[in-house]
Structure 1
Amino acid sequence: MGTQNAHLLIVDDDDRIRQLLKRFLMSKNYGVSTAKDAAEARELIDAIDFDLLIFDIMMPGEDGISLTKFVRNERNTPILLLTARGEANDRIEGLSAGADDYLPKPFEPEELALRIANILRRVKPAPVQTAMTFGDTTYDLTRDELKREGIIIRLTETEKSLMRELATRSGAVVTREELARKAGVAADRSIDVQVARLRRKLEPNSAEPMYLQTIRGQGYRLAPDI
C-alpha cells in the first residue's frame, strides 16, 4: 500500500475541524474516518485496522493523551497528536504516552499532510527483493532456489541459510558472526569455508567474486545485478 492510500482516523470534538481535515486529506487520496470523541474512536479502532490515528488532545471526557495510552497498550498504530497547547511539557507528555509526532494548532494543512506522509514512510516496512539475478544465475528467495540458465543448483541447508540471510539484507554488510549464527556454524574459519562453497555455486569466477563480496574487517555483502 502506498502512503497516500492509507486509512486515517481523525478524532476531534470540533465538527468543523473534523470535516475540513477530512475533505483536505481525502483530496490527498487518503481514506479518512472521523470520530467526535474518545468513546467513538475506541469503537472504530476495535473494528478497523487504521494506518494512522490523529487525536486532538483537548477533548471533553477522555482526552487525547489517555486515548493514546489506551491504543499503545493494544497496538503499534502510529499516532499524531493535534492540540492548541504547544508548551514543551505538553509535547513531552504526548510523546511519552506513545505518540509518533505532535502538531500544535493552528497549523497549515499542508504541514499536517507532510507529517502524515513522513510517519507512514517511517513505519512502512521496506520491500524485500525476492528475485535476484547474478549474471546467468538467478535466486528466488521465496523458494530458496538458485538456478543457472533454468537448471536448479543444489544448495546444502547451510548454504540455503547463508543465501537467505544475505538476500534478505541485499546490499547491506552482514557480519561473519551474524551469518555464522544464522547458519549454525562457528564464527571462525568454518563460516569462511561455507561462504567459499556458496561462492563457487554463485559466481562465474569464485576467485574474483563479483556478487558475494568480502568487506574487509566487517563481513560479507550480496550485490546482485537486479
Structure 2
Amino acid sequence: MSDPALPVAPVAPVTEEPPHILVVDDDTRILALLKRFLSERGFIVTAAADAAEARRQLAALRFDLLVVDVMMPGESGLELTRSIREDSDVPILILTAMDQPDDRVSGLESGADDYLAKPFDPRELVLRVNGILRRLRQAPDLPPAAPPEGPLPLGACVFDPHRQELLRGDEVVRLTTAETALLSTLAARAGEAISREDLAELTGVAGNPRAIDVQVTRLRKKIEADPRVPRHLQTVRGRGYMLRPG
C-alpha cells in the first residue's frame, strides 16, 4: 500500500453520525494504517484481525460498510462475505492481492459490492468507500410504484408482495433480505424492464451493477424451473431485468 502522506481524498460526507466502517485484515500493519487513515477522514472505524473477530463485532454493532481482506488464516474474506450475504446487505469492499479477472468475478459473485487490488493508494480506498455510501443515499430516477394488489404467480411459486413471502405450494421459500428487496421491486413494476443501476438504488444493493446480476442468479434458482432458461425473471438486453408473472 502506498504512503498515505499524499494529498488526501475527499473526507467522508458530514452527517448526523459519521459512517461506521469495519475493517477486517490479518496484517496488523495494514489494519492500523487503514484505521488511522479512515478515522482521520471522518469515519468511525472498528478493526478486526480475522473473520471470527469480525463476526463478534457484527453481532454487537451496526456498520455502514465493511472493508474485508481476502487472504486470511482460517475463514477467508470470500467465505465471510458469502456468509454475511445470507442475512445482511451491508456493503462490502473486498481487498486482495489477487487481481486477475477471475479473482474479481469471484469476489463479486461472493456478494461483494466492490473490489480493490493490493497494493492500493489509500486515497482510492476512500473514494471507493464514499462512492458506495453515496450510491446508497441517491434516489433512482424512477416514478414511485405501488405493490401489486394481490399475489403474483411465478410458475410453481407465488410471491405475496404484502407479506413479502415466496411460496412453493404450502412451503415458504427462504429469501435473503437482498432477494426479497429485489423481488419486491421487480413485482411492483411487473412487465417493466428496470436497469441494473436503478435496481441497485431501489433495493439498496450498492456498488458495481454486477452485484445485481449475482442477486438475480440466486433468485432465479428459487423461482425458475430451469434457471438457465428463465421464464419469469428475464434479462432485457440493453435495458436490465423484468419480472413476468404467470
**Structure 2 Cα separation of the partners of residues 103 and 32 of structure 1:** 18
Distance 1:93 1:4, change over 3 A: farther
**Corresponding residue for residue 9 of structure 1:** 22
Q: Which structure 2 residues correspond to residues 136-147 of structure 1 after superposition, within 5 A?
A: none
Q: Note the C-alpha offset of 1:123.
A: 1.5
Q: Note the C-alpha offset of 1:72.
A: 0.5
Q: Which structure 2 residues correspond to residues 1-226 of structure 1 after superposition, within 5 A?
A: 2=15, 5-124=18-137, 126=139, 174=143
Aligned residue for 2:90, secondary structure, equals: coil
Aligned residue for 1:5, secondary structure, equals: coil
Larger radius of gyration: 1
Q: Note the C-alpha offset of 1:5.
A: 1.1
Q: Note the C-alpha offset of 1:13.
A: 0.3
**Structure 2 Cα separation of the partners of residues 118 and 3 of structure 1:** 19
Q: Deviations over 1:76-134 (max 9, x none)?
A: 000000000001111101100100000000000000000000000112354xxxxxxxx
Q: Deviations over 1:54-82 (max 9, x none)?
A: 10000011000000011111210000000
- Segments of 4+ moved more than 2 angstroms: 1-4, 172-175
Say if 1:81 and 1:101, in contact at 8 Å, map to a contact too. yes
More helix per residue = 1
Distance 1:173 1:32, change over 3 A: closer
Identity %: 49
**Structure 2 Cα separation of the partners of residues 91 and 11 of structure 1:** 18
| Structure 1 portions without partners, runs of 5+ | 127-168, 183-226
Distance 1:116 1:173, change over 3 A: closer
| Structure 2 portions without partners, runs of 5+ | 1-13, 150-246
**Structure 1 Cα separation of the partners of residues 101 and 128 of structure 2:** 19
**Structure 1 Cα separation of the partners of residues 121 and 111 of structure 2:** 24
Q: Deviations over 1:12-70 (max 9, x none)?
A: 00000000000000010000000000000011011111000010000011000000011
Larger RCO (alpha carbons 8 Å, 6+ apart):
2
Q: Note the C-alpha offset of 1:2.
A: 3.1
Say if 1:4 and 1:28, in contact at 8 Å, map to a contact too. no
**Structure 2 Cα separation of the partners of residues 54 and 4 of structure 1:** 19
Matched letter for residue 77 of structure 1: V
Matched letter for residue 59 of structure 1: M
